[in-house]
Amino acid sequence: MAVYAFIFPGQGSQSVGMGADLAAAFPSARAVFEEVDEALGEKLSKTIFEGPMEALTSTENAQPALMAVSMAVLRVLEEQGGLDLAGKVTLLAGHSLGEYAALAAGRAFGVTEAARLLRTRGLAMQKAVPAGEGGMAALIGATLAQTQEICEKAAQGGVLEIANDNGGGQIVISGTMAAIDNAIALAKEMKIKRAVKLPVSAPFHSSLMRPAEDVMAEALAKADIAAPIVPVIANVTADKVSDPDAIRQALTKQVTGRVRWRESVEAMTSMGVDTFVEIGAGKVLSGLVRRIDPEVSTSSVGTPADIETLLKSF
């Protein structure tokens, strides 16, 4: 019998039109998008379904938008598909902002709370560092030790830190732009397979995000948070988190802290998970999971057809 973890994507998985077929086919999905629109006081759903891509990719929009699509999929699985989340799913986890979707899925907070927190998070992260002063790069084929060496050598008075340990030889670094440029040059010298700047507007998951961390500490202190009905694996600890105050702390630290995705997946498999289901937009996490552990089963669920296929497998 399969042991399931539901995983929720982060920024970079967005695409114009995501979730539109769900909203057209299912009233329960439509209700999620309407709830997010109401929470934010604007028609974010119009941007999600119609674009433009530039507006959707903007951090303050992408974060609540991706959560909305994930929750729309989950709501259809539960309400139309009869899924008993706590009965069928052993663990929940999300990549960066996806952790908010995981917690919303586990009823730690509602969709309205998640949308408002993610809008606050997106705006705070965008404002933390002036545009053009910081960035991120992906190193493909580098070990954690090599990446740490590159960060130390390339910083040269600036800031350069490991932001995401995604597994499968993919590590993301974050920091000041000059340090990022130095790191890319150094990676080539060290014969790292590939080093590429990411199309992001700020140095996420680095100490440069400290102002945003302070904003989120205040927002999360006021948020109504309950223990989730299914344990959630926190990005910053790669371990289960269920106590409301521990959740607040994990989400606050996550702004500047490393996304320990490889360790999170390894923790879930060590707890018996053998089947990972990506809930929401894209297939990024499914690909990462397969590279971390080729033995596990993965699937991505973002369309009505995907939902039908998943429900048949239960």
Query: Residue 131: pLDDT above 90?
Result: no
- Mean pLDDT throughout 100-117? 98
pLDDT digits (tens, 9 = 90+) for 188-246: 999 999 999 987 878 999 999 999 999 999 999 999 999 999 999 999 999 999 999 99
Confidence of residue 19 (pLDDT cuts 50, 70, 90): very high
Task: Record the tokens describing residue 221, joined without a space.
Answer: 């202190």
32 band by pLDDT with thresholds 50, 70 and 90: very high
Q: For the residues 175-180, what does the mean pLDDT come to? A: 96
Q: How far is CA 192 from CA 81, 178, 180, in A?
A: 46, 19, 15
Q: What is the pLDDT of residue 184?
A: 97
Can you read off the two tokens belonging to residue 222?
Answer: 């006021």
- pTM here is 0.95
Which amino acid, residue 264? S
| pLDDT computed for residue 68 by the predictor | 98
Residue 50 has pLDDT above 90, yes or no: yes
- In the predicted model, what is the mean pLDDT of residues 256-261? 97
Confidence check: pLDDT of 174 > 80: yes
Query: Does 205 participate in catalysis according to the annotation?
Result: yes
Q: What is the pLDDT of residue 307?
A: 95
Residue 94 DSSP class: E
Average pLDDT, integer, range 48-55: 95
| Residues whose CB falls within 8 Å of the CB of residue 52, separated by 6 or more in sequence, listed in order | 16
Instruction: Determine which one of 13, 28, 45, 96 is catalytic.
Output: 96
What is the reported pLDDT for 103? 98
Q: How confident is the model at residue 132 (pLDDT cuts 50, 70, 90)?
A: confident
Identify the pLDDT of residue 82.
95
pLDDT of residue 200: 80
Per the prediction, the chain carries an average pLDDT of 96
Distance in angstroms (rounded) separating the CA atoms of residues 103 and 243: 12
Residues in the chain: 314
Instruction: Reply yes or no on whether 95 is catalytic.
Output: no
Element at 7 (helix H, strand E): strand 4-8
The predicted pLDDT at position 62 comes to 93
Residue 313: pLDDT band (50, 70, 90) is confident
pLDDT digits (tens, 9 = 90+) for 153-169: 999 999 999 999 999 89
Contact between 100 and 179 under an 8 Å Cβ cutoff? The reply is no
- Domains and their CATH numbers in the chain: 4-128+208-312 (3.40.366.10), 134-200 (3.30.70.250)
pLDDT recorded at residue 3:
96
Mean pLDDT of 26-54: 97
Residue 26 has pLDDT above 90, yes or no: yes
Q: What are phi and psi of 231, to 5 degrees?
A: -60, 140
* Dist. CA 47–CA 26, nearest whole Å: 19
- 45, 70, 205, 264: the catalytic one is 205
| Alpha-helix runs per DSSP H in 80-175 | 85-88, 98-105, 111-128, 144-155
d(CA 124, CA 126): 5
